[in-house]
Structure 1
Amino acid sequence: MIFMGRLAIAWATVVLFFLLGDAWLADPGAGLRAAVLFLWLFVVILWCAFGVVEQADHLANLLGEPLGSLVLTLSIVIIEVVLIAAVALGSEATPTLGRDTMFAVVMIALNAGVGLALLLGGLRHREQAYNLQGAVAYLAVIIPLASIALILPNFTQAVPSGSLTTIQAVFFSLFTLLLYAIFLLIQTRRHQGFFVEAPAEGTARAAAGMHEKRSPSGAALVRHTFLLLVTLLPIVLLSGRLAMLIDHGTAALGAPAALGGVLIAIIVFAPEGITALAAARANQLQRSINLCLGAATSTIGLTVPAILVIGLMTGKTMILGLDPTGMTLLVLTLILSTLTFSGPRTTVLEGAVHLVVFLVYVVLIFSP
């Protein structure tokens, strides 16, 4: 019943903005009207994102791990790419939006998401186990992808600094997609066991996840896939309107340019993050790791090519390289993540350290 109410409100919003949106957004101003329109669209899109996660979670239960977490992660990345494309195509003033959004998702997923999951799980269960091979596989992909996308452009000969030449953009996109495709093959076929709970912990659920083949109902798969698509579509249709308000509000209020990327990152990761925290509290840390590290991996692996393609098709300059402060935080986060996932068990200490790094990132957004 709640899900159908969500769909009704979402599609009613789509119809209203299709009929009246041009008049409403012609001159939204910087006062109450603009705030109401922004909150309306932000809440509806975020609520739809939760609906997408709900349906993806049903598919996850039908398909089992690691395919379940993969479906969930890819659904969220689609939302991210749509929102980034909407803002990037609709504004001349946000060449760093894709970079800011990717960086925000990485910081939220690897520091806020991982930190809270380890903290809440540690407080409840003292120590938690996970599959070390899976975490190492994620980080082995995240580290080069993040470095190539967010650090390397600062040291190329492209002008302006932080961007890429056409040849670099084409080949870096291909390399990124190739590495991500190889990772997906490892995750879903060759080494699925890396991404489920290690059988050494002795749980029947873990062993079943590794060795039993699910036989999901075809009708259930079709139903939940359809519901996922009709929940995702309003996000696509409303993203352009939200992009206009984000762009307008950032300029009118003199807000930090990175704030637009943070708002998109919140929409992108909030449903997935809540699912990850619930899993950690239920002592399912492997699922939390799949969601948090998977979000960072998919964000960079799929968003970088999307941003570069948008830039090539529109002729707009897309700035990917982070500023020195951002590079420092990114390197710190990658080193810290490597240390956190270097042993078989985690405690509240690792969670607290990740949260401190995230809070530093938040402060630097508003006080660089």
Structure 2
Amino acid sequence: MTVRTASRRIHWSVVVPPAAAVVLVFTWQRSLSGVMTGVVCFFLITAVLAAVHHAEVVAERIGQPYGALVLAVAVTVIEVALIVTMMVDGGEKASALARDTVFAAVMITCNGIVGLSLLLVALRRGEAFFSAEGTGTQLATVTTLAGLSLVLPKFTTSEPGPVFATAQLAFAALASIALYGMFVATQTVRHREKFLPVTPGGEVIDDLDDPAHRPSKGTAWLGLGLLLLALVCVVGLAKGVSPAIEDGLDAAGLPRSAVGAAIALLVLLPESIAAVREAGRDRVQTSLNLAYGSAIASIGLTIPTVAIASIWLAGPLKLGLGSSQLVLLTMTVLVGTLTVTHGRATLQQGGVHLALFAAYLVLAVMP
């Protein structure tokens, strides 16, 4: 991975994360000019591509579904750090940032990534095949987490507005982390076979059965280190350009909720690219693992963290979704259930999910 045998040249993916880290150090907490904003955006995009490459190296070494889990957790942990940092800096006007970002992550993963993955495979193969049991478990977990954390605050009456009382927030945080822990155990230990890619005939494809094509242990450890560095750079650089993003949104007259959408789109870019690549290899289940696993991690790790951070944050922590968001979430759950029930999907199902994703983007800028 690091050196080409013929030319002994260092692979670009090894150079990019340290270079992006240098740019991050020199631009951190500084006002950026137009030129520097362009430089930061360039390294942001290349860091995303490097993160995808190293995630694939790690995934090839440890097999699925562990590889998808590594990328989902790594991205989400750093996403949470970005959300908390921006909420601290933004004060009361950022009180709904966690809700907007988490909801954006759910829409991007459960509609955007899922829809695009199914569409790509269906275009090539006619139908996309996956494990109905494993994917159904993931969708059920996303539904429960979203319901407990984003829907209930809209209807509780202990506090005015879409806000949990302290005890309610503590329960939602504990339930989220418990459900996430149970999901990880189910996916990686007790029922791992339910989350592996399948053939049209239903045969399970296990990467660990073919050790000959797996990277060496040293290469995998190097890939993991560079993956984490690249993800730190992605989030740090994204935070650096976030003022320019916010200024651009304000200049365009867009609502504050669009900031959460922009953050989620940036942070989830590595997983989106990885999922599309897996779909190109006819590994639909891996794409779905990346999508639904990211949604589960986003809610399961973000809600407990912001619940703790709310002790020091100014203003209320707004978690309850708005009316149009509730409608989109309900449609997403219903359509997702119909999609995963039979373990196969056609072009139409992929198109329906993408239509819902497009509707989310439209409503994010024009509520």
CA distance in 2, matches of 1:262, 1:349: 26
Structure 1 window deviating more from structure 2 (43-52 vs 173-182): it is 43-52
Partner of 1:28: none
Alignment partners' CA distance in 1, 2:169 and 2:186:
26
SS in structure 1 of the partner of residue 312 of structure 2: helix
Counterpart-to-counterpart distance in 1, 2:168 and 2:39? 40
8 Å contact 2:62–2:208 — kept in the other structure? no
Structure 2 residue aligned with 1:285? 284
CA deviation after TM superposition for structure 1 residue 91, in Å: 0.3
Q: Structure 1 or 2: larger helix share?
A: 1
Cα 1:47–1:100 shift into 2, 3 Å: farther
Aligned runs of 1:126-275 on 2, under 5 Å? 126-198=126-198, 201=201, 206-209=204-207, 217-235=216-234, 237-238=236-237, 240-251=239-250, 253-275=252-274
Alignment of 1:50-89 (within 5 A): 50-89=49-88
Give, in whole Å, the separation in 2 of the partners of 1:364 and 1:146.
19
TM (norm. structure 2) is: 0.88
- What is residue 364 of structure 2 aligned with on the other side? 365
**What is residue 29 of structure 1 aligned with on the other side?**
none
Does 1:9 find its partner at 2:19? yes
C-alpha distance in 2, partners of 1:107/1:162? Answer: 20
Task: Give distance in 2, aligned partners of 1:209 and 1:280.
Answer: 16
Deviation at 1:286, TM superposition (A): 1.0
Change (3 A) 1:114 1:233: closer
Mapping 1:36-55, distance limit 5 Å: 36-55=35-54
Written as runs of structure 1 = structure 2, the 5 A alignment for 1:96-115 is 96-115=96-115
How far apart in 2 are the matches of 1:278 and 1:254? 36
Instruction: Judge conservation of contact 2:120–2:280 (CA < 8 Å) in 1.
Output: yes
The offset of 1:131, in angstroms, is: 0.9
Shift of 1:207: 4.5
Alignment length (residue pairs): 355
Counterpart contact for 1:193–1:210, Cα < 8 Å: no
Contact 2:143/2:333 (CA < 8 Å) preserved in 1? Answer: yes
Query: SS in structure 2 opposite 1:164?
Result: coil
Contact 2:17 2:226 in 1 (8 A): no
AA paired with 2:178? L
How many angstroms apart in 1 are the aligned matches of 2:230 and 2:44? Answer: 10
Deviation at 1:354, TM superposition (A): 0.9
CA distance in 2 between counterparts of 1:184 and 1:143 reads 16
Q: Secondary structure at the match of 1:254?
A: coil
Following the alignment from structure 1 to structure 2, what is the Cα–Cα distance between the partners of residues 356 and 17?
A: 38
Residue by residue over 1:47-94, the C-alpha shift from the partner in whole angstroms, topping out at 9 and shown as x without a partner, is 323322322221111000111111111122123112212211110212
The two structures have a TM-score, normalised by structure 1, of: 0.88
The 10-residue stretch of structure 1 (230-239 or 337-346) with the greater mean CA deviation from structure 2: 230-239
Q: Structure 1: any 5+ residue segments left out of the alignment? A: 26-32
**1:90–1:244 CA contact under 8 A, matched in 2:** no
After superposition, the CA RMSD in angstroms is: 2.5
Gaps of 5+ in 2: 1-10
